[in-house]
Structure 1
Amino acid sequence: MKTTGNTIFISGGSAGIGLAFAKKLSAAGNKIIINGRNEERLQKALQELDNAVAMQGDLSVADERIRIANELTANHPELNIVINNAGAAFMNDLGDANNNVTEKAYQEINTNYISVIDFTSRVLPQLLRQKDAAVVNISSIAVFRGNKYLPTYSASKAALHSYTQGLRDTFAENEQLNVYEVYPPLVNTEFSAGIGGANGIPPSEVADELFQALANNQFEVPVGETKRIHALLEPLTEQAAH
């Protein structure tokens, strides 16, 4: 699809991978709408962007999702790309009886999965009115294998992965709407600082990969070390019934 002249909504767009997306896409001549919970951080991010506006709100809250979707319809009818990037992640020790495993898992599944489904369903009618549109879901290398440090986060991203495949299949015959999935490995952001993020790749690398994928209509977007895993598994998963 085209990589310039779009109107793009990016959740979690005030920092980390989301801000890297905003910078890359803004520089390419797109109008950017960044979303986040913290107004101060949003305003700071805007200083680094051209042709961008902020839309404060917490998409993990149902009333906020509804409000933001309505504002997009009313104020940005030309919206044609939605990047579902906002996420939640917790170190979650399943063997610790004093750890609030369920509450952490609930927050992750709500933010990383349920909220994405609901918000996407609310903006889909607007996207389907455009000649060239896309939904971009940011999943993770963790969809391929959970671990003892982030077991419930991995599960929430695996759920998002399955949903994304289903959404892509649903609109497979609609040439105007494309569904992308980005699989970052560990990325050096504030979000991942508690799990060794300093050892990760720069967020700009994820943004560069998405930009190329949009230009090439490459709907599966593995990044960094995820490419090796994806190359092994994709031929097998494509053999499964869609």
Structure 2
Amino acid sequence: MNINNKTVLITGGGSGIGYETAKLLSQKGNKIIIIGRTADKLHQAAASLTNTIAIPCDITNEVDVDKLVAEINTNHPELSVLINNAGKAFVYTHAETADAVSKARQEMETNYFSLVSLTEKLLPLLKKQPEAAIANVTSIVALSPAAVIPTYSDSKAAVHSYTLSLRHALAQDTNIKVFELMPPTVNTEFSKEIGGEEHGMPASEVAEGLIQGIENDQYQIGVGITVGFLNNFFPTEEQAFQAINQR
């Protein structure tokens, strides 16, 4: 897919993978819209990039999301690429004092429910474009959970499942391509507690992998050690999905 001279919306665009993706795409003549909860941080990020505007928005707040969608439809009706990157994680292990339900609710709200909601509300606009794409950022833990981020892993597994079903549905009668980026641990503020600074992949390299994957129509994009993980453990996932959904 050609990803030059388009309008791209990136959630969680103020830092990490979202910011690095915005930086690279802004250099390709795209108009970038970055979304995030913290207005000051978001505006600073946009000011450091070219062709980029910031729209503060809490994607877990339905009122905020409806205002965002209305603004996009009014002021950026040419939007053709949505990158769902925003995420939330708690580091803990399951135990009787873990308060896992509370943590899981927050993670699922940010990582899954808000992603589904925003995507659904932007589908009518994306369907109007001659070429469009949705890219969901999941994780290697969508395939096998990490015990120190257990319910975060659950939320990413949910997004992985949603992505497969969404891709299948939209392929029937739309021009919307659906991609999934599955990074390993990335060196960001987000992953400090689980060793991201020492062992994480640079966010810039993850962003490069995402863009290359989209340009090459690689719908499931593994980067870093995820590539080997996919090849060694899940080589026939697509065939399994097709077998279940052949009707």
TM-score normalised by length of structure 2:
0.94
Q: For 1:238, what is the secondary structure of its paired residue? A: helix
Contact 2:21–2:204 at 8 Å: present in 1 too?
Answer: yes
- Which residue number corresponds to residue 158 of structure 1? 157
Normalised to the residue count of structure 1, the TM-score between the two structures is 0.96
Decide whether the 8 Å contact of 1:92 with 1:104 is kept in 2: no
State how 1:111-126 maps to structure 2 within 5 Å: 111-126=110-125
**Deviation at residue 147 of structure 1 after TM alignment:** 2.6
2:168 aligned partner: 169
Equivalent position SS for 1:145: coil
Q: How does 1:185-204 map to 2 (within 5 A)?
A: 185-198=184-197, 199-204=199-204
**Which residue does 1:215 correspond to in 2?**
215
Shift of 1:61: 1.5
Quote the Cα distance in structure 2 between the aligned partners of 1:68 and 1:3: 23
Cα distance per residue 1:33-61 (max 9 Å; x no partner): 00001111011101221111001011012
1:135, distance to aligned residue in structure 2 (A): 0.5
The within-5 A match list for 1:133-144 is 133-144=132-143
Counterpart code for 1:41: K
Provide the rounded CA distance (Å) in 1 between the counterparts of 2:238 and 2:98.
39
Q: Contact (CA 8 Å) 2:185, 2:200: kept in 1 or not?
A: yes
Distance 1:113 1:227 in 2: 23
Shift in Å, 1:100: 1.9
Specify the alignment match of 1:147 in structure 2: 146
Contact 1:92 1:152 in 2 (8 A): no
Instruction: State how far apart, in whole Å, the 1-side matches of 2:30 and 2:160 are.
Output: 27
- How large is the RMSD of aligned CA atoms in angstroms? 1.2
1:30 deviates by 0.5
Instruction: Supply the AA of the counterpart residue of 1:148.
Output: A
Deviations 1:63-102 (A, max 9, x none): 212211111111110000000000000013211x333211
Contact 2:139 2:184 in 1 (8 A): yes
- Counterparts of 1:72 and 1:217 in 2: how far apart (Å)? 26
Whether the 8 Å CA contact 1:134–1:178 is kept in 2: the answer is yes
SS at match of 1:207: helix
- Please tell me whether the aligned partners of residues 17 and 204 of structure 2 are also in contact (alpha carbons under 8 angstroms): yes
Could you tell me which amino acid in structure 2 is paired with residue 228 of structure 1? G
Residue in structure 1 matched with residue 91 of structure 2 by the alignment: 91
What are the equivalent positions in structure 2 for 1:2-17 lying under 5 Å apart? 2-17=2-17
Counterparts of 1:62-81 in structure 2 under 5 Å?
Answer: 62-81=62-81
Please state whether the residue corresponding to 1:239 is helix, strand or coil.
helix
1:234, distance to aligned residue in structure 2 (A)? 4.4
In the TM superposition, residue 239 of structure 1 has moved relative to its aligned partner by 2.3
Equivalent residue of 1:191, what SS?
Answer: helix
For structure 2, list consecutive stretches of 5 or more residues without a partner in the other structure. Answer: none
Runs of 4+ in 1 over 6 A off after TM superposition: none
Secondary structure of residue in 1 paired with 2:201:
coil
Between the two proteins, the alignment pairs up a number of residues equal to 241
Among all aligned residue pairs of Structure 1 and Structure 2, give the percentage whose two residues are the same amino acid: 42
Secondary structure of 1:164's counterpart equals helix
SS in 2 for 1:178: strand
**Residue aligning to 2:47:** 47
CA contact (8 A) 2:139 2:156 kept: yes
Rounded Cα–Cα distance in structure 1 between residues aligned with 2:237 and 2:40? 43
Matching residue's letter, 2:24: K
Give the distance between the partners of 2:93 and 2:225, measured in 1 at CA: 25
Counterpart CA distance in 2 for 1:173 and 1:235 is 24
Unpaired runs of 5+ residues, structure 1, are: none
CA contact (8 A) 1:13 1:22 kept: yes
Deviation per CA, 1:180-238, whole angstroms, max 9, x where unpaired?
00001000001111111102011011111111112111111001000011123443212
The one-letter code sitting in structure 2 at the alignment partner of 1:123 is: L
- More displaced stretch, 218-227 vs 166-175: 166-175
